[in-house]
Amino acid sequence: MAIERTPVKDRFKDKVAIVTGGSSGIGRSIMEELCKEGCSVAFTGISDIGVTTSKEMADAGFDVLFAQGDMAEEAFCKSVVQQTVEKWGKVNHLVNNAFSFTAKGMDATREDWERVFMVGPVGYAVMVQQVAPIMREQGGGAVVNMSSISAFVAQVNRWTYNAAKGAVHTMTKCMALDLAPWGIRVNSVSPGWIWTREVFKAADLDGGGREKWDPIWGEYHMLERCGQPVECAGPTLFLLSDDASFVTGTDLPIDAGYQSMGPEGLGKTAAFAGSE
C-alpha cells in the first residue's frame, strides 16, 4: 500500500535541520519531506547507506550534508552540530531519531543496556545540549524526539528497548520545561508498528513477508495495517513547524489507535470473536 503526502511548499524555506539516523526508514522519510518543504538538512547514519542516500538527495537538487558515525559517541554528536553550523551558520530544528534496537530481557548484558541508552536517551540529550545554545541565540527552535509505543506498554523480552524509550518520553517533558524560556519547543512522537528495517527482519523470519504479517500486526491497529515511514514524517514536521507554536512538552502518537485499544485488538482472531 503506497502512501504519499503533499508537501507544504516552502514551509521550511531558509531553515536548517539535523535529523539523526536519517539514512533510512523513518529518519530518511523525515529528512526527505523536510527537504521537499525547502529545508537544508544534515543527517547522520552509522553505515555506508548514508553515502548513497546523500548522493540521491543531492542529485534531486536538495541541500543536504551527511555525517557518518555513532550517536553513542559524544565527540561525534558535537561534530555533527559543528559541521552543520560551519555549512549553514545555524540550526533551527533537531530530530533525534537514531536509536539502537536492542530488545532483550533476562538475557540483557550490561553492554546491551549501555548501548541502547548511550545511542538513545543519552545521545538525544547530548544533541540537545549542543544545539540549544545555538537556537537560543537565534531566538528559538524546535526539537522532536523519537519515542515509541514501547514507552507505554509491556512487551515480551523488551526490558532494554522499552526502558530506553520510556526515558525518552520523560526526558522530553523535562527538556521542554527547561528550554521554554529560550523559545525552544521540545516534543516527541510515538510510532506504532511501522514498516522499517526491524519489522522487515521480523516478518521475514518465516518467509511470510509483508503479505502475511501486515494483517496480523494490523490486528493491533484500528486502521488494520502497519504504518509507512512517510506517515511519521507529516506529524513530525507539524511539531517542528510554526503551526505547532503553542505545543511543547507533549507526545503525539502515530499508532493508528494502538494505545487506545484493549488487549483483544480488533478481535478478529481472538477466541471470543463473535461471542455475545
What pLDDT is recorded for position 195?
Answer: 86
Neighbours of 77 (CB within 10 A): 27
* Residue 271 predicted with pLDDT over 60: no
Distance CA 167, CA 122 (A): 9
Residue 35 grid cell = 527537504
What value does the mean pLDDT take over residues 100-127?
97
Distance CA 47, CA 227 (A): 24
Rg (Cα) of the chain, in Å, rounded? 19
pLDDT digits (tens, 9 = 90+) for 155-195: 999 999 999 999 999 999 999 999 999 999 999 999 999 98
* Residue 273 predicted with pLDDT over 70: no
Return phi, psi of residue 165, to 5°. -70, -35
pTM over 0.75: yes
What value does the mean pLDDT take over residues 21-45?
97
- Active-site residue 124, yes or no? no
Indicate the CATH number for domain 16-193+228-257.
Answer: 3.40.50.720
Distance CA 202, CA 223 (A): 21
* Grid cell 548501548 in the structure block, residue: 115
Domain ranges of the chain: 16-193+228-257
Instruction: Quote the mean pLDDT of the chain.
Output: 92
Question: Is there a contact between 18 and 46 (Cβ–Cβ < 8 Å)?
Answer: no
* DSSP classification of residue 118: I
What pLDDT is recorded for position 274?
Answer: 43
* Grid cell 537514531 in the structure block, residue: 98
